[in-house]
Structure 1
Amino acid sequence: MALTLDYTNMFLPGAVTDADWAESAGRFRGAHAAVMGKHGRGELGFLDLPADAALLAQTTQFAAAARGKWTDVVVLGIGGSALGPIALRTALRPFAWNAIPDAARGGQPRLHVLDNVDPDTILATMEALPLERTLFLVISKSGGTAETMAQYLLVRGALDARFGARAVEHLVFVTDPEKGSLRPIARAQNVAALDIPANVGGRFSVLAPVGLLPAALIGIDVAALLAGAEDMRRRCVEADGELGANPAGAFAVLQWLAHARHGRGIHVLMPYADPLRDFAAWFVQLWAESLGKIQPDGTSVGPTPVPALGATDQHSQVQLFMEGPADKTVTFLAVAGREGRGPIPALHGDVPDLAYLGGHTLGALLDIERRATAGALAARGRPNMTLTVDAVDPWHVGGLIMLLELATAYAGELYGVNAFDQPGVELGKRFTYGMMGRPGFDAARAEFEGLPQSDPRRRV
């Protein structure tokens, strides 16, 4: 079992140089030491999640008790509370999991993730669900996220109307162990509740019950997921600042060098595997919300992450990657060992455009297309690297999660920003609270109302 990062194609004319790499070794040792120092002070709880036996027990015991009771599980959440569960479902359950007949799912429930407050989606989902066999996971560390709490209130109203006092049997909260609005409700009304450790931020929480509980409820081996994450954590930490032995460090440094030294600040993550397609969306939040910041001197910094999918986006975005502005890096996610899957029949031998495909496989075609795209980009001077996993299984997915989370922590140090806050989203939240009438936000409402309003002369 292995995860490997091949960054040969990052070293191209006009991109990262050997001198860049050599000079960055000392800077990375400082970044690694800073991350380890924060962890030692108890600030980076995501690094402790793989070995947290108590949290794992919370998850597996609840999932075991719930087995066979529910046909549908619904996650109410947004951002890190939703993207992780979606990525795990797509990667580690069969394709179109929710559409598979019940018997073929082996009695495991469907998993729905309501990651927005669009009334069309929410109301249609509620109308289609068999409420008597549905469990709702309300995921919010603070218990104050407007979107998730609005979802909860709508769902709670429907459950109360249908089941009365038994409504709480259809709910489980995933929230802070002590703080926030959900924990007191859980205690007062005997709602099941699992913990998000206080030192684990939302976008770093997929290996907490945020991601583990939905995964366990649909039959994913969450112990193996954590084991893979722990292996990667140990691999990176034990490298002790040696850049060439640390895949998370290499990823972070190469992306930072390509941006800071060579102006390539758009970072594409492009899985060549449908099961990993939603990891690109998860990565976008992780990279963007963590690194797009204002430095203490007032300078705005941060890369722009972009999701893509191979081979689908060879027929759309790759044209831009090849011949558009030279401001991008591309990281391919590859899966080894699938070359024998999906034999292509040798038919229409008299049609050259079809005949050459016969005798090959879909797996080989997809992998060849990835290699061809990487080579074509390199030939045009467009830097790229390839992260390969031996299989899409819980162990390797856990390792991939830890690699990208730890790379984000390193990149925060390299960019000189705090990778674990999100001040840029707070003003919009305050305006929302003010306009919705939340107590304590009158000043935010007044500030919003003092902004320029829509001008009829500037509408068409």
Structure 2
Amino acid sequence: MRYEDAAWREKQRIRLDVNNVFGTHGLTPAELEAEAPRAAAAIAAVQERRADLGWPLLPDQDVTPFEQFAAAHRDRIDTFVVLGIGGSALGNIAVQTAINGPFYNLLPREQRGWPRLLVLDNSDPELNAGALRMLDLRRTMFNVISKSGTTAETMASFLYFRQALVEAVGEDRLGDHIVLTTDPNSGFLRQIGQREGWTMFDLPPKVGGRFSVLTSVGLLSAAMTGVNIRELLAGAAYGRELAANPDPLRNPAALGALINYLCFRKGKPIVVMMPYANRLRDVADWFAQLWAESLGKAVDRQGKPARVGQTPVKALGATDQHSQVQLYMEGPYDKLINFIAVEQYAETAPIPTAYADLEGVSYLGGHTMAELIQAEQQATAIALSEAGQPNITHIFPEINAFTLGQFFMLMEMQTAIAGELYDINAFDQPGVEAGKINTYALLGRRGFEERRAAIAARAQALDSRWVV
């Protein structure tokens, strides 16, 4: 395997270029150097907690069960549907588009060779009903993902499609079309799986949803669509190695965490993730949840008010050069822009020569679309830097399972290190839980009657004059 070759792995190393973060409205090298000891302590703290956190150990897992399941079912299944939300969906989508490309689902079966992937991550009725209309349920498998089995959106979709399957294939055949991913020991979904006798994959209890792309959450759907999940995990292991470097100025995860932390402290509460590759656009979506849910916290570890965390913004190069970049250039100095650049695209798409007398068009001829988008990324980074807007660039040698797994681990380590710098718990999400509790109350779940009464009282107190 190519990922077993040390020279190949080194060539696939993702590099972090931070030169454009320095400037009047950015940082100085001296500021980074002054905070390096704190960042070094943060690296050590995360390394000490690796076993307790769980997700740093994921590159070492045995993936044979996922490969065997995919091999056993790939030929009889045309569409593999993931029912999940947040961390149970975003990573699946990111892996699919990054490795198989944005048009994979549209290819004829003989070209793709593996099932299509559909991820339904919303309780929007039109999304679910629309999916049902286009699916051949006899050749569809549903992967229901919920650690507790109480995720309202996921379980509602499960009940909706379960009934449709009963009508299409019969209740006695549901086990051929439903596979569960849930807590190994407890929870309502585990109870359902045991009652029905369905296949179940375990979710590591210590791993939170936004860190779960390299667990059964992401690996099963990746295996079902032909992704080399061993190479994905090999890349994650390499990213883990890079993120363990005790020197924070030579450690890309720690350096990224430190820059984001210092930029936030200097009045930059917004972080933009802008890949220059359509195949990586959903990686920006995955990053947004990881960063926002981990670092947006009201209190620190001592329970004191904190109110920290940058707001992540997703952008796509070169598309958003024609929308968001105007704001980045001439708007307030409140952002740190993260570019993702790709050195070698899988295809170059040569641009033909035509209209030699029209300089505004003819100059493109003889180049490739790969050269064009690379030039656009570099040009935008330079322009932003010259405008005083700090930016950094993550450089992918190419897009493959190894570099994708590497980036996942680097960003997860960056997030954990940033949590240490902020002195907050980066692994809970109390703000999300509040919304869940209100949903349970509004839908009449037993045990939430008191909260339902409080919501009703609040509704009665609202002033109708302010609904216009």
Aligned with 2:248 (options 234, 243, 250): 243
Q: Which residue is 1:160 aligned to?
A: 166
User: What is the rounded CA distance, in whole Å, between the counterparts of 2:365 and 2:387 in structure 1?
Assistant: 31
Q: Which residue is 1:365 aligned to?
A: 372
Contact 1:340–1:361, Cα closer than 8 Å, also in 2: no
| Shift in Å, 1:339 | 10
Q: 3-state DSSP class of the match of 2:219?
A: helix
2:136 is matched by which residue type in structure 1?
A: P
- The equivalences for 1:62-73 within 5 A come to 62-73=69-80
Q: Which residue is 1:305 aligned to?
A: 312
> Relative to structure 2, which stretch is displaced further, 373-382 or 58-67?
58-67
| Shift in Å, 1:57 | 2.1
Change in Cα spacing, 1:127 to 1:329, as seen in structure 2 (3 Å) is same
Contact 2:227–2:401, Cα closer than 8 Å, also in 1: yes
User: What is the rounded CA distance, in whole Å, between the counterparts of 2:57 and 2:152 in structure 1?
Assistant: 29
Aligned with 2:200 (options 183, 193, 200): 193
User: What is the rounded CA distance, in whole Å, between the counterparts of 2:397 and 2:25 in structure 1?
Assistant: 32
- Asked if 1:331 corresponds to 2:335, the answer is no
Identity among equivalent positions (%) equals 47
- Asked if 1:183 corresponds to 2:190, the answer is yes
Contact 1:3–1:388, Cα closer than 8 Å, also in 2: yes
Q: 3-state DSSP class of the match of 1:245?
A: coil
- Asked if 1:269 corresponds to 2:268, the answer is no
Aligned with 2:282 (options 275, 278, 285): 278
- The equivalences for 1:18-97 within 5 A come to 18-39=29-50, 42-53=51-62, 56-97=63-104
2:293 is matched by which residue type in structure 1?
A: E
Gaps of 5+ in 2: 1-11
1:22 is matched by which residue type in structure 2?
A: E
| Shift in Å, 1:5 | 0.4
User: What is the rounded CA distance, in whole Å, between the counterparts of 1:222 and 1:327 in structure 2?
Assistant: 38
- Per-residue displacement from partner, 1:383-425 (whole Å, max 9, x unpaired)? 1111011111100100010010110111111112111100011
Change in Cα spacing, 1:411 to 1:152, as seen in structure 2 (3 Å) is same
Q: Which residue is 2:414 aligned to?
A: 407
- Per-residue displacement from partner, 1:175-227 (whole Å, max 9, x unpaired)? 11112111122122111111110000000000001111111101000010000
Contact 2:25–2:333, Cα closer than 8 Å, also in 1: no
User: What is the rounded CA distance, in whole Å, between the counterparts of 1:117 and 1:340 in structure 2?
Assistant: 37
1:315 is matched by which residue type in structure 2?
A: H
| Shift in Å, 1:452 | 4.4
Q: Which residue is 2:155 aligned to?
A: 149
| Shift in Å, 1:288 | 0.3
> Relative to structure 2, which stretch is displaced further, 404-413 or 94-103?
94-103
- Asked if 1:451 corresponds to 2:458, the answer is yes
Aligned with 1:101 (options 108, 114, 133): 108
User: What is the rounded CA distance, in whole Å, between the counterparts of 1:281 and 1:136 in structure 2?
Assistant: 23
- Per-residue displacement from partner, 1:309-363 (whole Å, max 9, x unpaired)? 0010000100000010100011100111249811111100111211111111110
- The equivalences for 1:122-137 within 5 A come to 122-137=128-143
2:49 is matched by which residue type in structure 1?
A: K
Q: Which residue is 1:442 aligned to?
A: 449
Gaps of 5+ in 1: none
Q: 3-state DSSP class of the match of 1:360?
A: coil
User: What is the rounded CA distance, in whole Å, between the counterparts of 2:15 and 2:196 in structure 1?
Assistant: 48
Q: Which residue is 2:8 aligned to?
A: none
Let me know the Cα RMSD of the aligned residues: 1.3
- Per-residue displacement from partner, 1:137-180 (whole Å, max 9, x unpaired)? 00111111011010111111111233221112100001111121
Aligned with 2:27 (options 2, 16, 36): 16
> Relative to structure 2, which stretch is displaced further, 158-167 or 327-336?
158-167
Contact 1:270–1:330, Cα closer than 8 Å, also in 2: yes
- Per-residue displacement from partner, 1:7-56 (whole Å, max 9, x unpaired)? 111111231112211111111122112212322xx421110111012xx1
User: What is the rounded CA distance, in whole Å, between the counterparts of 1:339 and 1:285 in structure 2?
Assistant: 28
User: What is the rounded CA distance, in whole Å, between the counterparts of 1:428 and 1:338 in structure 2?
Assistant: 42
Q: How does the TM-score come out when normalised to structure 2?
A: 0.94
> Relative to structure 2, which stretch is displaced further, 394-403 or 330-339?
330-339
| Shift in Å, 1:459 | 2.1
Contact 1:339–1:363, Cα closer than 8 Å, also in 2: no
Q: Which residue is 2:7 aligned to?
A: none
Q: 3-state DSSP class of the match of 1:243?
A: coil
Contact 1:339–1:361, Cα closer than 8 Å, also in 2: no
User: What is the rounded CA distance, in whole Å, between the counterparts of 1:3 and 1:420 in structure 2?
Assistant: 25
User: What is the rounded CA distance, in whole Å, between the counterparts of 1:246 and 1:321 in structure 2?
Assistant: 27
| Shift in Å, 1:132 | 0.5
Contact 1:339–1:362, Cα closer than 8 Å, also in 2: no
- Per-residue displacement from partner, 1:427-455 (whole Å, max 9, x unpaired)? 11111101111111112212222324553
Aligned with 1:220 (options 216, 227, 233): 227
| Shift in Å, 1:95 | 2.9
Change in Cα spacing, 1:253 to 1:192, as seen in structure 2 (3 Å) is same
Figure out how many residues of one structure are paired with residues of the other and give that number: 452
2:29 is matched by which residue type in structure 1?
A: D
